[in-house]
Copies of this chain bind each other. A is one copy, B any other.
Amino acid sequence: MENFVFHNPVKVLFGKGQIANLAPEIPADAKVLITYGGGSIKANGVYDQVKAALAGHHVLEFGGIEPNPHLETLMQAVELIRKEGINFILAVGGGSVIDGTKFIAAAVPFEGDPWDILAKGAPVTAAVPFGVVLTLPATGSEMNIAAVITKWSTQEKLAFLSPLVFPKFSVLDPETTFSLPPRQVSNGIVDAFTHVMEQYLTYPVNAPLQDRMAESILKTLIVEGPKTLANPTDYESRANLVWSATMALNGLIAVGVPQDWTTHMIGHELTALHGLDHAQTLAIVLPGTLTIRRDRKWQKLLQYADRVWGLVDGSEEERVDAAIQKTRDFFESVGVRTHLSDYGVSLETVPAVIKNLEKHGMTALGEHQDINPEVVEQILALCA
């Protein structure tokens, strides 16, 4: 096991009716901005629950944060907060709203152009405190320090990390997710599954507890994902999906182990170039990454084959092949297609993807920092 620092101070309020308990988590005299997305929270009752919980607080609103949240949109919220003297934000939505809110929180006190936080790695030294009401299980953003933002004008999708953008609290009521379209639930399952894989499927470092906990999340997603798709209002399976998605990326399974975020980094470029859903890009790229890097990931692929998929018969090569195929089949089975061609994208995009990765400094990806543009090309060739 490698040395590590683990620190996750997010307070999670999980379960039915927990929105009603959020008021004590926000300072009584705070001037609050509610941030949200396309307005589904007004249709499904979440907005009303939040407003009721905040009765007595001074509250303003900022809606319209889009999927793959745009810098251009978020900067409008930054201006609003500066102008109105807002001192607490409540993000009500999924990963895009939460990520967008993290950026807003960091941008408000930032001196200079806040895009530099992503484009130049400018340090975040302060942030407006914020809480979360989660409405979509997928990204884990509700319990971590990461955010991914898209600059629409230049088609760039970049990430930043800062412990200053940990949510103060996150309310996870599975019932708020019942009304999600199936496509978003499917995407969430694939996103969470891939998050785990990118922290687990590297090489062994004698960290058996982290391995087993990662496998625990994968196995839970494999069982509960299809259940919640089949019965969207079944509380139990949805609750298990929500908690799995949060645990998939709150830092815990990453402690002391190598990581490989190749699939995410390639996926970001595909979304930026072609507008594919984030999870669609992961479903396309992950099988290719595992196949091209099978030699370096051999031991963990065998362990994954055995413990997650119960594949114990056949040669090592057969088990590795079968485990990768099972991964692809699982994504397809929950309704996320796994080939670029399924989305009308051809391999003609490869040079543009590689050019953008180079532009963003992503030329040494993977757990060995040896996934260069040539290897990315090999991976993408399998994604057709």
Contact = CB atoms under 8 A, between A and B. Distances in A.
B208 A223 contact: yes
A247 B14 contact: no
B3 A18 contact: yes
A356 to B, nearest CB: 36
A15 B256 CA distance: 9
9 contacts: A4-B15, A6-B14, A7-B11, A8-B9, A12-B255, A209-B220, A209-B247, A213-B213, A213-B216
A212 interface: yes
Given A14-B255, A255-B14, A256-B15, A209 B6 contact: no
Contact of A244 (B7, B209, B220, B239): B209
Give this chain's copy count: 2
Question: Which 10 A-B pairs rank lowest in CB-CB distance, beginning with the nearest?
Answer: A3-B15, A212-B216, A9-B9, A7-B11, A206-B236, A6-B12, A209-B220, A1-B239, A208-B220, A4-B14
Interface residues of A, number: 40
A375 interface: no
Interface in A199-240: 206-209, 212-213, 215-217, 219-220, 223-224, 236, 239-240
Given A4-B14, A7-B12, 15 more contacts: A3-B14, A4-B15, A5-B12, A5-B14, A7-B9, A7-B10, A8-B8, A209-B217, A209-B220, A209-B247, A212-B216, A212-B219, A215-B216, A243-B256, A252-B252
Contacts of A382: none
Contact of A15 (B2, B9, B224, B239): B2
A42 interface: no
A368 interface: no
A240 to B, nearest CB: 6
A254 to B, nearest CB: 12
Contacts of A220: 208-209, 212
Contact of A236 (B1, B9, B18): B1
A216 B217 CA distance: 11
Contacts of A219: 208, 212
A157 B13 CA distance: 32
A209 B243 contact: yes
A274 interface: no
B223 A216 contact: no
Nearest to A256: B14
Interface in A18-49: 18
Contacts of A243: 1, 209, 255-256
Interface in A148-168: none
Contacts of A10: 7
Nearest to A11: B7
A296 interface: no
Contact of A208 (B1, B207, B224, B256): B224
Nearest to A4: B14
A16 interface: yes
A240 B5 contact: no
Contacts of A208: 219-220, 223-224, 240
B256 A207 contact: no
B1 A5 contact: no
A25 to B, nearest CB: 10
Nearest to A211: B216
Nearest to A239: B1
Contact of A3 (B6, B16, B209): B16
Given A220-B208, A223-B208, A5 B11 contact: yes
